[in-house]
Amino acid sequence: MSRKFRLLTILIFFLVLLFYIFSGKKKVEKFDAGTLAGEVVIFRGEIVNPDQVIENGAVVVNGRKIAWAGRMENLNPGGRQVLDTGACIYPGFIDSHNHLMYNFLPRWKPGKIFKNRYDWQDEKDYRNSSKKRAAIIKGHKFDLMISKYGEIKEMISGATMVQGTIMQKGVQTLVRNLESYNLCKQDSIGTSIFPLEPREKKRLPKIIANLESGRETCHLVHAGEGVDDSSRQELYDLRDAGLLRKELVIIHGTAFGPAEFKLMADAGVNLVWSPRSNLELYNTATRADQADKAGITLALAPDWSVTGSDNILEELHCAAKVNTELFQNYFKPRDLFRMITINPARMFGFGEYLGSLEAGKEADLAIIRSIQKDPYQNLLSAEITDVLLVVIHGEPYYGLSEWMEKLGKTADYETLEVRNNTRAMDITEKIDVPEAGMKLIELNTNLKSVIPDLNPLAEGVLLPLSQTLAISTIEALDTVSVILDTEEADALSDE
């Protein structure tokens, strides 16, 4: 083969290679927001998804849905409003487990360590607090307001969906309720707080039948909450009862070890862990690292603000500390982020609606100030003062006053002080329920009229107080004088 022929062959090879390289590069067609019908808002910032970070990104919100998400350079705004946040844009956070109807109560510090959840529930000061709660909501006079207050506690941390609220129409358009009024799909999720106690054990055959038929697609149970053998045994009792199945999500599992996690993983059971509450009550945390090694999908949640965290950001801080001190940094920041976004979305059947910022999904956004280079680590460092805007089903509910005004929230929003930072919030709802139009100042005044030591929305959050009690048609002041016997109080206090 001559030298000239070899050179020609090499030249042809490189020409063919270049042809394939450049022909494979498709021209990116810009998304034209101007072609969309209806209300459109474009949020510009760093898009943070479970599996991808898009710098200089844009999320196009069309009504209640995300129409497009990608790099700003690939978008034609088409004359639509652009809110340049200069911040991280996260999917709205999902609180997988909470007891919102307790979160108006003052924080309880028992001053001792317990073996299981039944031990601390017998403590006199806790029972007195539980009776007080039962008296306040007796006759359903305050349950709507208490539930709404709990949802506001969630919202100011970027949470847009929560488990553990009540089925009330008066709170259907604030934070999405996982079990009901979630504004995504028909409710098909059940809950058992004490699945192995006689009162709830009677329901087991019906629960299993509902899961078999598809009437329920997911069932949550409290189990393994403690550190003793009886708490550990609960998993085996659930198995023997026929409830250890792929539709099951266990809350806590603090008593479990590798053997129990393997049993769960083999059955396809998922887990929600709440480290702060468990540390407060049992001086330990669920071994989420061992659960992950077994192949279990994990979600993270505050449990309640009585012994847990006030909100999801606080719980993330606690989880990060536990991860360092107990798990030797087993989880990466992105792993913890997934536990409040895509993991719970998928385990509860909302993966096609929530958990990431993608076209076609619900427009739930948590926009948080960028204070760390790594956007996942940024979330672990963020405080509630760094929450700049919260959007739920396309509507801005909470955030910087100037942004709320720019987005059209000028009529009903109120301002509150969040650790010396002003934030605006609109909690009014346009539905036919007496409390629906209640503003934050009225809600706070009503609750303080019956519980002066009302648990704040979060540490350092100050609400405006009215000089006149706004009781309206609710006969609240007489409620706290009701004396309940122990059995009635217990019945009312079970969540």
pLDDT tens-digit series, residues 358-403: 999 999 999 999 999 999 999 999 999 999 999 999 999 999 999 9
Give strand pairing partners of 41.
61, 81
SS3 at position 133? helix
Give strand pairing partners of 273.
300
Asked if residue 85 has pLDDT above 60, the reply is yes
pLDDT in tens, 261-306: 999 999 999 999 999 999 999 999 999 999 999 999 999 999 999 9
**For the chain, how are helix, strand and coil distributed in percent, rounded to 5?**
35, 20, 40
Are the CB atoms for 178 and 348 separated by under 8 Å?
A: yes
Q: For residue 453, give the amino acid letter.
A: D
Write the secondary structure of 396-461 as one string of H (helix), E (strand) and C (coil). EEEECHHHHHHCCCCCCCEEEEECCEEEEECCCCCCCCCCCCCCHHHHHHHHHHHCCCCCCCCCCE
Please name the residues in contact with 460: beta carbons below 8 A apart, sequence gap of 6 or more: 418, 419, 420
Are the CB atoms for 234 and 224 separated by under 8 Å?
A: yes
Read off the tokens for 356: 């990431």
Rounded to whole angstroms, how far apart are CA atoms 269 and 295?
A: 10
The structure tokens 């999904």 sit at: 361
Q: How are strands ordered across the β-sheet holding 248-252?
A: 189-192, 218-223, 248-252, 270-273, 298-300
DSSP of 237-285, one letter per residue? HHHHTT--STTEEEEE-TT--HHHHHHHHHHT-EEEE-HHHHHHHHSS-
pLDDT in tens, 429-449: 777 666 777 888 888 888 888
Are the CB atoms for 424 and 415 separated by under 8 Å?
A: yes
Name the pairing type of β-strands 248-252 and 270-273. Answer: parallel
Are the CB atoms for 99 and 305 separated by under 8 Å?
A: no
Confidence (pLDDT) at 428: 82
Q: Report yes or no on whether pTM surpasses 0.85.
A: yes
SS3 at position 384? helix
Choose the weakest-confidence range: 58-62, 141-145, 269-273.
141-145
Give phi and psi for 101, each to the nearest 5. Answer: -75, 0
